[in-house]
Every structure is written in structure tokens, then in C-alpha cells.
Amino acid sequence: MSLNEPLHDTRALPLQWCLEQRRRNGGAMGRRDGAVAFFDVDGTLVWHDYEKLSRVKTEKIDAVTQIRPTEAVFEAFRRMRAAGHLTFICTGRPKSFIVPSLYELNPDGFVAAAGAHVIVGDTVVRDVSIPEDLLRETVERFVAAGVDLTIEGRAQNVELRPSGAPARFEGSAVAHSVAEFFEVAGDNPFSKFCTNGLTLAELGPVLPFCEEHYTVADLQGGAFEFSLKGVNKGTGIEAALAYLGHGRERTFAFGDSENDLPMRDAVETFVAMGNALPRVKECADYVTDSASRDGVVTGLEHFGLI
């Protein structure tokens, strides 16, 4: 898949569009003494009612595709850009779930798939996939246990539904067996997977295997994320900063869930949203307002970035 192709069906805005907007709005990527800020999406740049989402078991979920930051967040990104600071989307979402509204923020790059896929400008600086043998064993174990999951890649997402449940996310492919999964997946690489509407207790049959090979993160709203050990938002940020030649000074990260915790050690200042999990707040350098009250804007103002 070319970087210049749409990344979310035909509705996505290609990266080249984003870069062209950057050129029209000032050209160079930030000033030499500018800050670099990394922003989680769900629960940070956009608000979700996690209590409501946690009650959703089998219905379709529109929280993935039907999101848009508030105008206050858009204005904050414009002001960051005008001040010469760099902005990165730092999300668990794979490229295939990065929707048009996020490109419209005109960021300087993406740390996607919880650090597995990193783009700075128009350059891919990191791309990590689950090894084929581990992917096959993962699929086989989940199917045997009858546990549903969504396996995510930069070009395609496959909802593996051994329970027989229908697809929950717009734009995903669906499979119900091991053979069907690999037929649908083809040669596409996959970097992580998530479960939705299940507790850790309900994941019991597969949890020991997963904890051996993956890092398990609570995303809130009844969702858990499984990423390869050593692949996380923190190491993704480190890859982006290394490419930029930028140290930890004047670096910021905003987040709310467990998969945001690795960002803490990769930046100088870690900001937790007011709606963040308690553990995330405990580890933060600063706790801002909830995403429902544009906490990203409040945090940027607090640190004088806008």
C-alpha cells in the first residue's frame, strides 16, 4: 500500500494531502527550539463515553469511524503549528483506522498501531508486524477458545468471530475460523489485536499465552489491546524523535489509558487526561481536564505551548 493511497477506505485523506496542507501553511517542520507533542486519540483528542461503550457486547461500534475533535482542538493544533511546534498523532489505531478528521488536524506524523508503525513527514521510520508463526498460533488459540478479537494491520483489519457474531467495526473484514481468517488476510501484515466487550476473566483461556508473547493494555470501555512485547507508544516515540534528531527536552505526551503509559518514559512531560485511568494519573507529571472539556487545550495552555 502506497503512502499516497487513502488509508481508511475511500473516505480517508492520503498522507500526501496532509503534507501539502503543511506546505501551504508554512512549509518547514517546526522551528529548531520548538516542542514536540504526541497525542493519543480516543479519550484524549476525542471524547468517548466509556461507561456506555463497556456495556456494548455485540452491537456495531461507531466510536472508531465516526469521530471528530472539537473546533477548540483544531484551533490548538493550528496555534501549535504557528508557534513552530511539531504535533504527532500517537494512537493504538492502525493506519486503516485513522479517519479523515485526524488528517485534517495536519500533524507532522503518526505513531500508529501503538508504536508498531511510525511515520515522520512522508517517511516510514518504523514498521513492525507479528511474526507469521506467532500470528497463526494466536488465531488458533482464540478460535479454539471461542473468543472474539479484531486483528489490526496497516492495510486491513480482520474481525475474527469464532462465536459467530457479526462484524462490529465499519470497514473490517470478517472471519469465523482459522482457515477463513488466513484466506481473508492474504499476505497482509498485522501488528496487534484487540478484544471488545470482554473482561479479563472472560479472556482466561487465552490470557496466559497472550501475557507470554504480548503486552496487555486496558483501553477502557471494555477494550483490551495486545501488542508485541517491546513494541509500544514509547518506543514508537523514540523512533520518531531519533529520526528528527530531537532529544527528550521540550517533548510532551497526552494520554488516558494503559497503552499510553510507555509514553511517560519517552518524553520529558507526560500529561494525563482528567478522564484517565487512576494508574495513568498517578504516573503523570500533570493532570489536565477531561477530554469532554477539551483537556488537551487546557494542558497546552498550561505549558505555554499555545
Domains in the chain, start-ordered, CATH in brackets? 15-128+231-302 (3.40.50.1000), 132-228 (3.30.1240.10)
Per the rule left: phi > 0, alpha: psi between -120 and 50, beta: everything else, 166 is beta
Distance CA 165, CA 117 (A): 29
* pLDDT for res 56: 52
* pLDDT for res 96: 86
* pLDDT for res 32: 65
pLDDT less than 50: residues of the chain: 1-19, 21-28, 58-59
H-only helix segments in the chain: 15-24, 50-53, 71-82, 100-103, 132-145, 178-185, 207-213, 233-244, 278-283, 295-302
Q: What amino acid occupies position 163?
A: S
* pLDDT for res 15: 42
> What is the pTM assigned to this prediction?
0.85
* pLDDT for res 30: 60
